[in-house]
Structure 1
Amino acid sequence: MLRLERVAKTYADGTVALGGITLAVRPSEIVALLGGSGCGKTTLLRLIAGLDRPSGGAMRLDDEGIEGPHPGVGVVFQEPRLLPWLSVADNVGFGLAALPAAERRDRTAHALEKVGLGSHSGRWPKDLSGGQQQRVAIARAFVTLPRLLLLDEPFSALDPFMRASLHEHLLGLWEEHRPMVVLVTHDVAEAVTLADRVLVMRPKPGRLEDEIPLALSRPRHPLAQGFDAATRRVLTVLDRSLQPAETASAVPAPVAAALWW
């Protein structure tokens, strides 16, 4: 389990990015973080990844404190960040150097098959499309069998058709070992498609506004029963989070939801 207790972040210039976040992510759970710009979603993800240090509070992955980059945590960024001098297969297997060569090859080949790139193992990153490069990045994150996977808007630059395809590849890999997943996104439909629970954040300083559990069966489709209702629930909370605190409760739910349509 991932546990955060009153995690805060204040930058050197005095900017309070996070005002104290307490949350728990359960084993195998997919959690989506939503919120307006400047609410601290990516800051929080960087803290969990160990890429930055909090100003206060504590973070634990199972029984271990998170004090820096953790071997049990995988990260997929907005950009694929592939190593251009390595082949597709070598990029995917980059974190498996400690394993025997045969096991490394088998794991890499399996991950590439799961994302539909089994025939591309010997190609170079520059020869791939943007969507293919992001599939390589996803395979690279899963191949190490992380306990926790962090996704920082990895599909934001892709067209809707490619995004839907990558959602399927992501869930296909997740089904095998079911790591905990924390996804930062600005796309409400993406959050409803992927997450078991949506956490909406409020800015200035960043803090949790509310959470919306999503008890929809998978695979999820925008036209499936319950999808539209879940989307509207998330939109209503998201709209409320963008209102000044003193007026948020005065905005009727139907009006708030309409602001996003």
Structure 2
Amino acid sequence: MLELEHLSKTYADGTRALADINLSVREGEIVALIGGSGCGKTTLLRLIAGLDRASAGAIRLDHETIVEPHPAIGIVFQEPRLLPWLNVADNIAFGLEHVSAAERKARVAHALEKIGLTEHAGRWPRDLSGGQQQRVAIARAFVTNPKVLLLDEPFSALDAFTRASLHEHLLGLWEETRPTVVLVTHDVQEAVTLADRAVVMQPKPGRIFDELTLALARPRDKAALPFEGAVRRVLTALDHSLNTVQTSPQRERDREAAALWW
């Protein structure tokens, strides 16, 4: 289990990026962090990844405190960040030096098949489309079998069709090993498509405003009423987070979401 306890972050210039974040993410759960600009979503992800240090509080993975990059935690950024001097297969294999050559080859071949790029194994990153590059980045993260995978808006620069395709590839890889996933997104439909829970954050300073369970069967039907209802619930909470200083009671927000739906 990934646990964030009273986590806060204040920068050297006095900017309070995060204040008293408490969150538990179950093993195998996909959690989407969503909120307006400046609510600290990416800062929170960097703290979990060990790329930055919290000012207060603690991050624990299976009771182990995280204070620096950890081999059990993988991350995919907005940009693919592929190594231009390595071909597609070698980019995916990057980080697998600790396993045998045979196992490395098998893992890479399987990942290439899952993301539909087997025929592109020997190509260079510059020869791929943006969507293909991001598929390689996602495969590279999954191939190490992380316990936790952090996704920092990896689909934000892609068109809607490519984004939907990558959602399917991501879930296909996730189904095999079920790592814990924390996804940062600005896209409400993306959050509802992928996540088991949406955590709505509020800015200045960044803090958790609401948590909404998304109990929808996979694969999720975007045209179905339950999906549309879940989207409206998240949109309502997001709207409140941007327009309210003190949080409203959960029951009141639920009533308002239902009223909007009907």
Task: Give the TM-score taking structure 1 as reference length.
Answer: 0.95
Question: What residue number does 1:27 align with?
Answer: 27
- Partners of 2:89 and 2:204 in 1: how far apart? 43
2:61 counterpart letter in structure 1? L
- Partners of 1:256 and 1:69 in 2: how far apart? 45
Kindly provide the CA deviation profile for residues 87-133 of structure 1, in whole angstroms up to 9, marking residues without a partner as x: 10000000001111111011011011101111111100000000000
- Partners of 2:245 and 2:106 in 1: how far apart? 53
Matches within 5 A, 1:182-201: 182-201=182-201
2:21 counterpart letter in structure 1? I
2:185 counterpart letter in structure 1? T
SS at match of 2:158: coil
2:137 aligned with 1:137: yes
Matches within 5 A, 1:9-158: 9-158=9-158
2:260 aligned with 1:253: no
Question: What residue number does 1:205 align with?
Answer: 205
Q: Is contact 1:209–1:241 with CA below 8 Å preserved after alignment?
A: yes
Question: What residue number does 1:164 align with?
Answer: 164
1:173 counterpart letter in structure 2? L
Structure 1: runs of 5 or more not aligned: none
2:183 aligned with 1:180: no
1:61 counterpart letter in structure 2? L
- Partners of 2:38 and 2:186 in 1: how far apart? 12
SS at match of 2:225: coil
- Partners of 1:207 and 1:91 in 2: how far apart? 36
Deviation, 1:246, is 5.1
Q: Is contact 2:6–2:57 with CA below 8 Å preserved after alignment?
A: yes
- Partners of 1:244 and 1:204 in 2: how far apart? 12
Q: Is contact 2:34–2:186 with CA below 8 Å preserved after alignment?
A: yes
2:199 counterpart letter in structure 1? L
Q: Is contact 1:197–1:212 with CA below 8 Å preserved after alignment?
A: yes
Deviation, 1:196, is 0.2
Task: Give the TM-score taking structure 2 as reference length.
Answer: 0.95
Structure 1 residues 90 and 238: alpha-carbon distance in aligned structure 2, compared to 1, 3 A threshold: same
- Partners of 1:50 and 1:189 in 2: how far apart? 29
Structure 1 residues 246 and 256: alpha-carbon distance in aligned structure 2, compared to 1, 3 A threshold: farther
Structure 1 residues 213 and 247: alpha-carbon distance in aligned structure 2, compared to 1, 3 A threshold: closer
SS at match of 1:20: strand
Question: What residue number does 1:228 align with?
Answer: 228
Identity %: 70
Q: Is contact 2:209–2:247 with CA below 8 Å preserved after alignment?
A: no
